[in-house]
Amino acid sequence: MKLQTNEEVLKYINEELNGYEGYLQFSHRPIDKDKDIFYDGKVPQVENEEGFIYEAHFANDEQSISIRQINDAWVIAVTDLKEIDIADEDMQSYVSDIENFRRIKMAQIWVKEADELCEGMQVKKLKKVVFAGFEKGDIK
């Protein structure tokens, strides 16, 4: 899906992503922990600012949503996490750059494909890595 204006992106986040956790990055400033990160039931309510939303990532137990500003539009990519077999070893967490904040979970999505370099055998290949939420519990 594509959206054409920053206002459409704000409306999408504010109206469609209740029940998701995630974060967004504006074009004109660093991420503000209090305004740009949504977790532990905090409902996304984003106000229009001087800049524009450069990118955003949201997830719940069923979907991962990525919003990226590319050229003249915002591209929204939805990955259905329920339809994908994500093994425990495919879920990684990373320390965020935000001081005193939780680790970020990322899901690696692997797909079996025939590989000509392995005589046509089925080989798992990494297709994408998506935001899967924040680790629960203690900060870092």
Angle at 76 between CA 73 and CA 79, to 5 degrees: 160
Q: What is the mean pLDDT of residues 114-119?
A: 92
Instruction: Provide the residue count of the chain.
Output: 140
Q: In what order do the strands lie in the sheet with 53-59?
A: 2-3, 73-80, 63-70, 53-59, 21-26, 37-38
Higher pLDDT, 63 or 111: 63
| Global confidence as pTM | 0.83
- Of 74, 73, 34, 52, the closest CA to residue 65 belongs to 74
Coil, strand or helix at 140: coil
* Spatial separation of the C-alpha atoms in residues 103 and 101, rounded to whole Å: 7
List the domain boundaries for the chain. Answer: 2-134
Question: Residue 58 pLDDT more than 90?
Answer: yes
Is-contact 15 56, C-beta < 8 A?
A: no
Is-contact 72 64, C-beta < 8 A?
A: no
Report the pLDDT value the prediction gives residue 140, as an integer from 0 to 100: 52
